[in-house]
A and B are shown apart, each in its own frame.
Chain A
Amino acid sequence: MARNLSMKDAINEALDLEMRRDPTVIVMGEDIAGGAGGQGEEDAWGGVLGVTKGLIGKYGAKRVMDTPLSESAYIGAAIGAAACGLRPVAELMFLDFMGVCFDQIFNQAAKFKYMFGGKAETPVVIRGMVGGGFRAAAQHSQMLTPIFTHIPGLKVVCPSNAYDAKGLLIQSIRDNDPVIFCEHKNLYASMADVPAEAYTIPFGEAAIPREGKSATIVAYGMMVHRALEAAETLAKEKIDVEVIDLRTLSPIDIDTVVESVEKTGRLVAVDEANPRCSIASDVIASVTEHAFKAMKAAPKAITAPHTPVPFTPALEDLYIPSASQIAEAVRKQMK
């Protein structure tokens, strides 16, 4: 039975169901229970934004582990435990913190299988917050998806809604490769109908939340909502836009985008990441290679600028790609 759930609760439910199903699933992270060693409640925080709230009560401190502030050590430990048969889900509060433990992720987890000639599996999930709009400034707001996507051996997921978040997280936990699971902090409160039971959404299958004939807008995460907003506006102007939600960035479902562009002839790729070597530029390059002949206008990337994320709302609102920028890009292509 489907209930209206927030993305935060959907993620919590995915963790809960998988922990119930599979005793090798453990979760760890800073303050994910939040009461370790104190005199107060064991589940004082349940994660900085409460995403893991309630899990320690059901599964105990053996499976829900508060960690010290040592990202290299505990992310590395999650990876090592994964290589030894557990399925750890490690929370890296803000994925911006990847800088201090990146070696464990891109030189260790991502490469074990290849370096060891195929004889290693590392079923770890590293999940955490991404994205702007929280006024959290330059070190707590980034969309680093292109950096993760660049690394062979990692899978990269970034859901745009509660339904996808649950299905994709369950898939991530059951998946046998290392997965970076990117949770947009501004989507935690977004609501969707979510079935109560466990279900998976396969990687590398984009969704088409809106069908259309005149132009294709590709997005992921928060930008899917901006793209849909732009599509609404354009519909009033009789411009019929298709919106594609990539859902996973590695693997990426380029086929669906190519098919769409072969139909519409126009492509706008939207990305909350910075412009250089972004998901948007990657999509445009691939689609241009495969569907050049079908293109009726030059493809266009709408991304954040090549700057750090600013703090002040006055600037952050300019930094994050807007529905009006997206709509304007499509209008130009229609001319």
Chain B
Amino acid sequence: MSNNPFPLPKEKLLEAYTKMKTIREFEERLHIEFAKGDIPGFVHLYAGEEASGTGIMMHLEDKDRIASTHRGHGHCIAKGVEVEGMMAEIYGKVTGSCRGKGGSMHIADLSKGMMGANGILGAGAPLICGAALASKYRGDGGVGITFFGDGASNQGTVLESMNLAAIWNLPVIFVVENNGYAESTSIDYALAVDSYIDRAAGFGIPGVTVDGTDFFAVYEAAGEIIKRAREGGGPAFLECKMVRFFGHFEGDAQTYRAKGENEENRANKDCLKIFRSKVTKAGVISDAELNKIDDQVLARIEASVQKAKKDPLPTAKDLLTDVYVSY
């Protein structure tokens, strides 16, 4: 297939689809498993938002760092964190990515440049300024991406960090994942300006808004601003408009939504369907190839759940370790 109209070669398209599908199935499965009562704590699912994290992360290497949110599973997977360790972590097992001490809201893998999901809204923005500062200091060309929701975009930490990144000319991309809601509160209520671009402009930062359900729109917009940041052009702001398929957290009755909103989102704003339709229509990838990936992903998720369920729990001695390097 020689006529590839997309900005990525076929194997990269397959990689992107695999990431998005892995996130989707990870979340769909957690939704089911959570309902059974086997998973402790809070779980916030990223289903519906996959194109955003994936479209951005396809530009990143391990030396690039991201700071994620409470809705962090998708960012982890897209940044290359192993799903098996993540699943075990969410089940609270000692084999988890954080040895069971972090859980869904704190999955991290610094070796992959994943500086943690975060239970505190807006907390990743200052941290990623530091990561970007370290990259700039060393001159390693690394960039930092901080994700936050439309709700968290109103945190002072985010606004302070936008100014800091601008005056220090840091390679930071501020990504607002605008899914329309902060828990139950609509963005129309909580955001004073009409557009994030206006807000970014107030900090002297260029901004761009994209359809976050379209992988290619995210990929192209992110590519430009990441390249610019890498080359010393400074911070940028990216708004990805998207939908979340599930409630705020598992167990949310979602009575704040309009009637039929979830069905409409699943039918017309599903980033995986949109991706599939684009690449198959262009004749670059066949349905059969994508179906094969679907099967592989399902099998991997199934195996990770089975393994997580069987894996051992941490024991009393684990309670007291990992507090300090030395004490």
Contact = CB atoms under 8 A, between A and B. Distances in A.
A88 B67 CA distance: 19
A72 B160 contact: yes
Contacts, number: 154
B126 A86 contact: no
B98 A119 contact: yes
A262 B123 CA distance: 47
Interface stretch (A6-14, A51-59, A77-85, A224-232): A77-85
A121 B323 CA distance: 10
B232 interface: no
Interface residues of B, number: 47
B157 interface: yes
Interface in B148-173: 156-157, 160-161, 163-164, 167-168
Contact of B126 (A62, A80, A114, A251): A80
Contact of A117 (B102, B119, B123, B168): B102
A195 B24 CA distance: 62
Interface string A82-120: 111110100000000000000110011000111111111
Contacts of A67: 164
A155 B326 CA distance: 10
B178 interface: no
Contacts of B119: 107
Contact of A114 (B96, B163, B322): B322
A70 interface: yes
Contact of B133 (A68, A77, A113): A77
Contact of B123 (A104, A116, A153, A177): A104
Interface string A121-132: 100000000000
B325 A77 contact: no
Contacts of A251: 327
Interface string B2-16: 000000000000000
Nearest to B105: A115
A115 B164 contact: no
Contact of A155 (B115, B156, B167, B324): B324
A157 interface: no
A76 B99 contact: no
Given A72-B156, A73-B164, A155-B327, 12 more contacts: A74-B126, A76-B161, A83-B110, A84-B131, A85-B138, A107-B120, A108-B123, A117-B96, A117-B100, A118-B322, A120-B110, A153-B323
